[in-house]
Structure 1
Amino acid sequence: MTNLQESLVREFLRTNRSGAYSSSTLVDCNTRKYHGLLVVPVPELDDENHVLLSSLDCTVIQHGAEFNLGLHKYQGNNFSPNGHKYIREFDATKVPTTTYRVGGVILQKEVIFQHYEDRILIRYTLVDAHSATTLRFRPFLAFRSVRQFTHENATASREYSEVENGIKTCMYAGYPDLYMQFSKKNEFIFQPDWYRGIEYPKEQERGYASNEDLYVPGYFELPIKKGESIIFAASTSAIKPTAMKKLFDDEVNDRVPRDNFYHCLVTAAHQFHRKEKNHDRYLLAGYPWFKCRARDTFIALPGLTLAIGEIDYFEKVMMTAERDLRAFMEEKPLSGKIYEMEQPDVPLWAVWAMQQYAKEVGRDKCFEMYGKLLHQIIKYILDGKHPNLRLDDNGLLYSNGKDKAVTWMNSTANGKPVVPRSGYIVEFNALWYNALKFCALMASEKGDAKGAEKVEALAAKVKDSFVETFVNEYGYLLDYVDGTMMDWSVRPNMIFAVALDYSPLNQQQMKSVVDICTRELLTPKGLRSLSPKSGGYNPIYVGPQTQRDYAYHQGTAWPWLGGFYMEACLKLYKRSRLSFVERQMVGYEDEMDYHAIGTISELFDGNPPFHGRGAMSFAMNVAEILRTLKLMEKYSYQK
C-alpha cells in the first residue's frame, strides 16, 4: 500500500445497483476523471454520471500536530499530502477496510455504498489512541460530468445550509443538493478554497486533458474517543444521524464476502445491476464509462443471472429488454435507456439468451415466457424488416458494415470501422443457424409440425451455405465474406460456430476450428481478437486514444470470448478437458487482487504479461467466466 507503483494500479469499485458508483485507487488517490467518492446519474441534466464528491481527506490531530491521511497527485508528479505512508493494512473481504497507524493512533476506515440510494457511507473507528484525538474532514467537490473537468470559476456557488450534523451545498444550478452529515455532532468551519492542478495519470496515458481544480468549502471537526465509531454520509438526500449506525450494519450484512474466486465474481455480477425508479431493470455493460448496450445485455444476461441461480433477475431484465426490442422491431419509439438496439446481431443474441434460460427452467416455461417473442424475431428476420440484415436466397444473413461497425468489433478511426466486417459475417450466421434450430425444436414440441418443418428446411439450407461460404482448406473459418472479398484473418469469431448448441459444422470441422483457436488465439486471459500470424497484429492496448483504437480488436485478449472457447472444448471433449479448463480459470483468479479488485477488466494485452486494460469492470467478461464455472460443474457430474 505504501508503494505507489503497486497501489495506484489497483482500483476499487462500489455501486448502488441504480447507476451510481464510488471508485478510486486503494490508497484513495484518484487517477481517472471517472474516479470519485460519490458519482451519480443526474437525469435532469443528461444521461451521464456526475462526480459530486471527489474525495474526503481525513486528518488526525493530537497535541496540536496534524497528520493528513489524504493523497492527491498534482502536476509535476507531486503527491500530497502523502497519507498513504500511514496505511498498515487493506482488507476487502466484506467491506473495503483501510487501517492507518499514526504513532500510537490506529484508525480504521470502512466504506460502503447503500443499495438503491445515492449515498456513500464511511465508518471511522478509533481502534487505539493514548491521548485526546480529533478528526478533521475536508471534502473535495467537483459537481461535473465524468467526461469533463472542473476549474476554478466565479460561477460556482459557495452557499451552504446547515442540516442535522452537517451541511448541504450545491455548486451549480440543475444539480441536486449534496448532503454531508455525520452520526455525531461536529463543527463545520467555512473556509472556501480551490485546490488547483490535481492531475489524473490515466487520462494522461490516453492523451487527454488530465488536470482540474477542486472546490473545498471548508472542513468538519469532531473529537473521537478510543473504541468509538463515527459514520460520515454523503448523499443527494438527508438522513437522520441516529439511523446511520443501523443502516451501515444492515448494508454490511447484505454483502457477499469476497472470500473466494466465485464470491468475488458474484459480487461483481451484482454491480452491473441497474434498477430504475419505475422498476425497470438493466445491466450496465461495464464501469466506469459504459452504459446499457443491447448486445452486451443479451450476451451477459445468462452468466450474470442464471449461472448464479438468479432466475428472477433474468426475467426482470428480459422484461425490460424485450419491451425495447419489440418496440424496435415494430418501429416504435424506444425508452432510450438501452443503446445500440439497431445492431443487426442483437435479435440473434436475444434468442441465444432465451435458449440458455430454457436449459435452466425447461423449454415449456421458456415457451410460456418468450414463445411469442421468439416467433416475432424469426418472422421479423424472414420478412426482411431489419434495416441492416438481409436474408439471401442461400439462407445466409447479409449485413453492411463497410461504413459503420455492426459487430462487437466496433472500434472506429476517422469515422470508419478499424475492422470493416461486412457481408456474410461468421458469428451472425452461426447464431442464425442456432436460432432456427432452437425455434424449430420449440415449434415441434408445441405441436406446430408445419411451422417446425418450414424452419428446419431453412436451417438445412443455412447449414450447407455456411459450410460452403466459411470453411476454407486450412481448417478454420473465414471471418466474413462479401462477394469476392474474403477475410482470411484468423479471428475468434469462428468459435461461436462450435460453441453454440447447434453447429452447422461436422465433428471434424469443429475440432479443426478449436485446434486453430488453441494454437493461435488462446491466452491465459481469453482469446486474442487476431492471430499473431495475421497481418496488422497489434496486441498492446496503450497510448493515445487513436493508437488504442487500432489495437482494440487487433490482437488484444477478451475473457468473454474465452468463455465460448471453453464451452466449445467441453462440448467436443467432455470431461477429458475439465482439468485444462480449470487451469485456464486460474489465469482469471489472479485478477481478483489486481487492477480492479474483485472483478475483471475490459480487455487484456495479447502478449505476456497480459496486462489488464480499458474499463475496470466489464459485464460480458464476468458473465462468461461465471457461465464457464457453471458448465464445469455440469460436465464434472457427467459420465
Structure 2
Amino acid sequence: MFQKELDLRVPRDNFYHCLVTAAHQFHNREADDTRYLLAGYPWFKCRARDTFISLPGLTLAIDEADYFELVMNTAERGLREFMKGDPLSVKIYEMDQPDVPLWAVWAIQQYAKYVGRDRAFDMYGKLLQDIIVYIKDGGHPNLRLDDNGLLYADGKEKAITWMNSKANGKPVVPRSGYIVEFNALWYNAVKFCALMAAEKGDVKGAGVLEELAAKTKKSFVDTFVNEYGYLLDYVDGNMMDWSVRPNQIFAVALDYSPLNQQQMKSVVDICTRELLTPKGLRSLSPKSGGYNPMYVGPQTQRDYAYHQGTAWPWLGGFYMEACLKLYKRSRLSFIERQMVGYEDEMDYHAIGTISELFDGNPPFHGRGAMSFAMNVAEILRTMKLLEKYSYQK
C-alpha cells in the first residue's frame, strides 16, 4: 500500500514536476461522473471562464486527455443547462459571463490538436454547433451578434470580462460594447467550426460560417486597429478605449487571427515594450492613464489596482504562443529566458506553485491567492509549445 501511494506521487524535484503537482491540486471530484477544476487556493471555487482557460494546460499539456474529457463533460452539462435557461445541476459559477461559450470552443480546439479533429468532433461536435447557433440566434442575454459580424456585450454596470474587479458596486474597468478578446475569440470559433463542418461534409454549413468569418474579420480590423499599431481595448458607440492592455494579444495568439502579419507583429511589439514583465503581461501599460502596479493596501485600494498594472502569468502564456506563432524557433531562447521568472517562484511566495498575480513593477512580488489555476495551466501549456517548436526543423 505504501509503495502504491508512493508511486502515484509526482516528485517535486524540478520546475515541471512542481507544476504537475500543482495542476493535480486543482482537481475536485463530487461524484463518479462529476469533475471540476478549482480556480485557485485558498478561496476560489470553480468558475466557468477559469475552467475552460485552464483545462488544456492542466490536462493536455501533461498528457492527461482522459481528465480533460471528465471535466469537459461536467462543464458541458452546465453550459447546456445555461443555454436552455435551466437551473444548473453543477457547481460551476459565473456561467452567465458572455465569453464563456467562446472559451469552451477554444478549449475544444486545443483538445482537437491533441487527439485529432475526428475524435474531437465525435466528442464535442454537437456542442460546437449548438454554441454557434446559440450565439447567432441571440440566445445569450448579454451577447448580441450585430450585422457587421461583431459581438456586442453590455458591461457598463456589471463586470463581464476577466477584468472583473468592483469598487462601490461598479466595475473598476467598465469594458463594454465591442470587446477586443470577445471578438478575437468569436472569429477564431467561427473559423474553427467552419473547418470542422467542411471536414464532415457539411459544405453548405461551412460556407455560411466562412462568409460570417469574412465579415467579422473586416469589421474587427476596421473597429480595433488604430493608427498607432495596436488594438483598442473596447469600442462602445463613440467611446473608444485607447488604453494599452494585454487583451489584444489574443487576436494574435489564437489559431485564427483577423489580423495580417504586419498587424500581428505590431501588437506583439507593443506588448513586449510596454506590458511584458518576468511574471507575465501587465494588465495596463505604465504609459496609460490610471496605471497602478502595486497590489497592496486595504481591500478597496487593491480592487482599484487589480487590473490596472498588475502582472498576470496566464496572459504571458498567450503572449509566448503569439511569439512562437510569428517567429517560430528564433524566439525559443527568448521564451526560455522568460520562463526563468516563473521558476524562481517555486521556492518563494507559495512553495511549488504560482501566485494569482504579481506587482507590475520590480521586484514583482507575488500577490493574491497563493495558487492560481490559469497561471499554472498556461505555463505548462507554454512548456508543451516549447517542446513542439524545439523539435520542428
Normalising by structure 2, what TM-score? 0.99
The equivalent position to 1:285 in structure 2, one of 39, 54, 79, is 39
The equivalent position to 1:470 in structure 2, one of 205, 224, 235, is 224
Query: 1:438-463: per-residue Cα shift (whole Å, max 9, x none)?
Result: 00000000000000000000000000
Q: Which residue of 1 aligns with 2:179?
A: 425
The equivalent position to 2:308 in structure 1, one of 526, 537, 554, is 554
Taking the TM superposition and a 5 Å limit, the aligned residue runs for 1:328-343 are: 328-343=82-97
**CA distance, structure 2, for counterparts of residue 483 and residue 404 of structure 1:** 18
Counterpart secondary structure, 1:337: coil
- Tell me if 1:399 matches 2:153: yes
**CA distance, structure 1, for counterparts of residue 201 and residue 216 of structure 2:** 24
- Where structure 1 has 5 or more consecutive residues not aligned to the other structure, the ranges are 1-245
- Where structure 2 has 5 or more consecutive residues not aligned to the other structure, the ranges are none
The equivalent position to 2:326 in structure 1, one of 572, 576, 591, is 572
Query: 1:398-443: per-residue Cα shift (whole Å, max 9, x none)?
Result: 0000000000000000000000000000000000000000000000
Tell me, yes or no, if the aligned pair for 2:33 and 2:74 is still in contact at 8 Å.
Answer: no
Counterpart secondary structure, 2:230: coil
Taking the TM superposition and a 5 Å limit, the aligned residue runs for 1:100-119 are: none
Q: Which residue of 1 aligns with 2:355?
A: 601
Counterpart secondary structure, 1:281: strand
Normalising by structure 1, what TM-score? 0.61
Q: Which residue of 2 aligns with 1:529?
A: 283
Which runs of at least 4 in structure 1 moved beyond 3 Å after TM superposition?
Answer: 249-253
**CA distance, structure 2, for counterparts of residue 256 and residue 612 of structure 1:** 25
Q: Which residue of 1 aligns with 2:144?
A: 390
Query: 1:286-337: per-residue Cα shift (whole Å, max 9, x none)?
Result: 0000000000000000000000000000000000000000010011110250
**CA distance, structure 1, for counterparts of residue 181 and residue 157 of structure 2:** 19
The equivalent position to 2:204 in structure 1, one of 432, 445, 450, is 450
- Tell me if 1:479 matches 2:233: yes
Counterpart secondary structure, 1:607: coil
Taking the TM superposition and a 5 Å limit, the aligned residue runs for 1:296-307 are: 296-307=50-61
Tell me, yes or no, if the aligned pair for 2:184 and 2:257 is still in contact at 8 Å.
Answer: yes
Counterpart secondary structure, 2:281: strand
Query: 1:556-593: per-residue Cα shift (whole Å, max 9, x none)?
Result: 00000000000000000000000000000000000001
**CA distance, structure 1, for counterparts of residue 96 and residue 339 of structure 2:** 34
**CA distance, structure 1, for counterparts of residue 21 and residue 115 of structure 2:** 24
- Tell me if 1:253 matches 2:7: yes
**CA distance, structure 1, for counterparts of residue 84 and residue 222 of structure 2:** 34
CA RMSD of aligned residues (A): 0.8
Which structure shows the higher helix fraction? Answer: 2
**CA distance, structure 2, for counterparts of residue 502 and residue 448 of structure 1:** 20
**CA distance, structure 1, for counterparts of residue 321 and residue 345 of structure 2:** 21
Query: 1:460-512: per-residue Cα shift (whole Å, max 9, x none)?
Result: 00000000000000000000000000000000000000000000000000000
Q: Which residue of 2 aligns with 1:275?
A: 29
Tell me, yes or no, if the aligned pair for 2:77 and 2:90 is still in contact at 8 Å.
Answer: no
Amino acid in the other structure paired with 2:42: P
Counterpart secondary structure, 2:186: helix
**CA distance, structure 1, for counterparts of residue 242 and residue 391 of structure 2:** 39
Larger Rg: 1
Q: Which residue of 2 aligns with 1:498?
A: 252
Amino acid in the other structure paired with 1:330: K
- Aligned identity (percent) is 86
Give the number of aligned pairs.
393
- Tell me if 1:359 matches 2:113: yes
Amino acid in the other structure paired with 2:300: T
**CA distance, structure 1, for counterparts of residue 386 and residue 8 of structure 2:** 28
Offset at 1:254? 2.1
Greater RCO, CA 8 A, separation 6+? 2
- Tell me if 1:509 matches 2:263: yes
**CA distance, structure 1, for counterparts of residue 4 and residue 12 of structure 2:** 17
Offset at 1:250? 4.4
Offset at 1:527? 0.1
The equivalent position to 1:411 in structure 2, one of 165, 170, 187, is 165
Amino acid in the other structure paired with 1:253: D
